[in-house]
Structure 1
């Protein structure tokens, strides 16, 4: 089973987290893509998709995630059976818009029938926790889920 990791990043931090997650899942066929370079029509129900997305400004998607999100909104194809997981990045200083980027992507995928696996990770830049460390730990936890084993079998 393939694992497709898509990242939306304004400053490169989400891309770095995506690389760490890919490194934790090397036992599988993993590919890594910038959201701006990945077509929604290429989402494959036979693969597990991991969305790594930062939050920009006041709760917006990073620039490179906007075309992907727009395509999710305008697409007509149902994503029933598509499995995805989300690792979000944000800063709790922004209050109610904290980690909104990952939430937006998850909402758009779910609205089209996709199923979220595992816990939505939410890195907070205002803490001492390093994003790369949290990404590695989250990927290991995701890998240990029974639903992950089913999704990648």
Structure 2
């Protein structure tokens, strides 16, 4: 059984919908999971010896959504080493905005967590809204691997 914090960055609700499905599946599988829609650094650090899953959309220029940005900034400023943290990142974007902007929020979070010495469970999952109209179809197989590896 794993303890997993699910930290969401969402503008129009798509990432939040995915995160709610993820939390439900984790709980059904016997894990302890909590959803954070306005995550703070204290919430994140509560999982530093467990697992964290960041699920985020990307805003227009490749930025992190407003509700997730304070967490990102606090982690970047305080720079706590997270050597006991296992993590995953699900990044939602639209490739029509260009390669540099596509899934930029998830890419930034993934890079920061690597710098903080957290251990990735899976490679970051980038979901292209131009290709995958139903993000769940892509998320669930990835999530199965994540669950298997953190259990």
TM-score between both structures, scaled by the size of structure 2:
0.88
CA distance in 1, matches of 2:13, 2:106: 15
- Answer yes or no: is the 8 Å Cα contact 1:40–1:68 preserved in 2: no
Count of matched residue pairs: 146
1:78 matched to which residue of 2? Answer: 81
Unaligned runs of 5+ in 1: none
Q: Which residue of 2 aligns with 1:118?
A: 122
How large is the RMSD of aligned CA atoms in angstroms?
1.6
Structure 1 outlier segments of 4+, above 6 Å: none
Mapped to 2, the partners of 1:41 and 1:29 lie a distance apart of 14
Provide the C-alpha distance between the structure 1 equivalents of 2:82 and 2:5, rounded to a whole number of angstroms. 15
Q: Is the 8 A contact 2:40 2:70 kept in 1?
A: no
Q: What is the CA–CA distance in structure 2 between the aligned matches of 1:41 and 1:77, rounded to whole Å?
A: 13
Gap change, CA 1:131 and 1:109, over 3 Å in 2:
same
Is the 2:41–2:75 Cα contact (8 Å) retained in structure 1? no
Aligned-pair CA distance for 1:63: 0.9
SS in structure 1 of the partner of residue 82 of structure 2: coil
Which residue matches 1:69? 72
d(CA) in 1 for partners of 2:32, 2:71: 23
Shift of 1:133: 2.4
